[in-house]
Every structure is written in structure tokens, then in C-alpha cells.
Amino acid sequence: MAARADVLITAEALVNQLAAGEPVTVLDVRWTLSEPDGHEHYLHGHLPGAVYVSLDDDLTDHGVSGRGRHPLPSGSAVQEAARRWGIRSGVPVVVYDDWNRAGSARAWWVLTAAGVPDVRILDGGWSAWQAAGGAVEAGPVDPVPGDVTVCHEDLYAGALPTLTADELDRGPLLDARAPERFRGEVEPVDPVAGHIPGARNVPSTVLLAGDDTFVASAVVDELLSERGIDAAAPIGVYCGSGITAAVAVAALTAAGHEAALFPGSWSQWSSDPDRPVARGAQ
């Protein structure tokens, strides 16, 4: 079972690693739902040597139909992109973002599912790096091409567990969206409001502390217990389109729990008129 140090790295640890000249590939994955292209923010300031990664272009395959708004890319596409970013065999990878760990968690999940080893999320993201006094560079970075080889072509059956829409009744199910979306009071993106019947709401944002770092394992356990989720059983996780659900998967994994992603999430479920929809707090 993975531990916190297998999923996350602190800003202080990364500062020391870079200062010591230890090899590491750093990826900047800035993304928000309202501003999916974070390249301009990256150019204004980023970690030393960090390469910009587009969540929509590089970590999603919009050519896939029927699997939600952010379908997973193929392993071969991930390998091509990873080599372009300079990822090398035997060299650890650190991913970071500047908003709710959404971009970095997606990158962590996709790369790990493809079979890239030793990928970690910068705990606290860009703000933690600045608070730690880390150096900042501006402008583009042109990395030396990498040589990494991925092990899985189909990320829906890759190195990390996933669930299909027909497998969501196998165990506890966690909805990582905002409470008002879960209850079906608002739906700003998808055509149908509500949630998958039987799911419990644990917004991805409550898995982050006030300083934007991931909460402690004990807090994760308490959140699950409060919602009647059996922490000993494998937990299914979904959100709107599989992005912020990866934040919950990362938090659960760091806390020592087995978590499986439903990649298509609510955007896939709600697009099928034959799927039931629940509304309200339960």
C-alpha cells in the first residue's frame, strides 16, 4: 500500500533536491475549469527547469467519444509527450500546479497509470514553493528529449485501478464535486444535475488544508467515517469529468487507502438517459 511519501513531496524537500543537483524532471500543470490554458501564467514564473504541460492537450484525448469530457489519453500518446517533456528512465518526476492540485493530480494519475515510476505531486503546489523561498524562473524551457517507456497502452486498464459505469456498485462510491453540484442544486457544465445513486460527497477541496497541502491521513479517515464510507474497502471516486477526482484518489492513496477512478465521471454517467440520477444530500 502506498504511503504519503510515495505520492507527495514537500516544497522544502524539492528545494534541497534541486540545490544538491539531484536529477529530477519538474512539470508545471496549471489548469482551472474557467482557464484551462495556464501557459501564460507559466511563462511569467515557474520552478527552475519546469516544463509546461497542457492538461487539455497532453493529458486528455478529446478524440475519444462516450467517455466524458476529459477522456484518458493512450499510453503511446503519453509516452510521446513524456519524452518531449524530458522524462528519463530512472529519474523521478515532480508535478505541480497553482489551483487545488487539480492539474498535478491529473498528471500524477495519468503518468502513474501509464507505468511511469516515481511520480510525485508537489504538496501545496506553487504557493508552497514560493513560501519555501524556492527559486523562480520565467520564460519557456526547452528540455533535452527523454527516453522513458510506458508499460500500459490502455490507461483504463493500466497500473492504477479504474471503474466502468457498470462497476460503480461494487463498493463505496465517493463524489468529489462541490456540495451544491452533488445535491443537484446547480450544474454549470453538464446538462443534467444530481449525482450517482449511493454516492457520498467528499469534495476534493476538503482534502486540502488551509495552506493548500493535503490533509493528514487521520483527517481523511474522519471524513470517510462521517459519511459512512468503509475505509477498509476499495473506494470508487468520480467528479465532473475525472480531473478533481484524481485529487481525491491521490489523497486516499497517500492516506493508505485503495481508490479506483471512474474516468468518465458525472459527464459520462449523466449523458446516458438510462442511468438513474439522485438529488439531495443522500
Q: What is the pTM (predicted TM-score) of this model?
A: 0.98
Q: How far is CA 118 from CA 2, 74, 151, 169, in A?
A: 12, 20, 14, 31
Is the predicted pLDDT of residue 136 greater than 90, yes or no? yes
8 Å CB contact between 88 and 192: no
Nearest by Cα to 146 from 87, 81, 58, 93: 87
The predicted structure's pLDDT at residue 3: 79
DSSP 166: G
The predicted structure's pLDDT at residue 282: 84
The predicted structure's pLDDT at residue 114: 98
The predicted-structure confidence for 29-74, as pLDDT tens digits, reads as follows 999 989 999 999 999 999 999 999 999 999 999 999 999 999 999 9
8 Å CB contact between 48 and 18: yes
Confidence of residue 22 (pLDDT cuts 50, 70, 90): very high
Active site residues: 239
The predicted structure's pLDDT at residue 2: 77
The predicted-structure confidence for 151-207, as pLDDT tens digits, reads as follows 999 999 999 999 999 999 999 999 999 999 999 999 999 999 999 999 999 999 999
Confidence of residue 23 (pLDDT cuts 50, 70, 90): very high
Q: What is the mean pLDDT of the chain?
A: 97
96: helix, coil or strand? Answer: strand
User: CA 47, CA 197: separation in Å to the nearest integer?
Assistant: 42
User: CA 109, CA 45: separation in Å to the nearest integer?
Assistant: 25
User: CA 87, CA 101: separation in Å to the nearest integer?
Assistant: 21
Question: Which domains does the chain show, CATH number per domain?
Answer: 4-155 (3.40.250.10), 173-271 (3.40.250.10)
8 Å CB contact between 266 and 240: yes
Sheet holding 93-96, edge to edge: 8-9, 119-122, 93-96, 25-28, 51-52
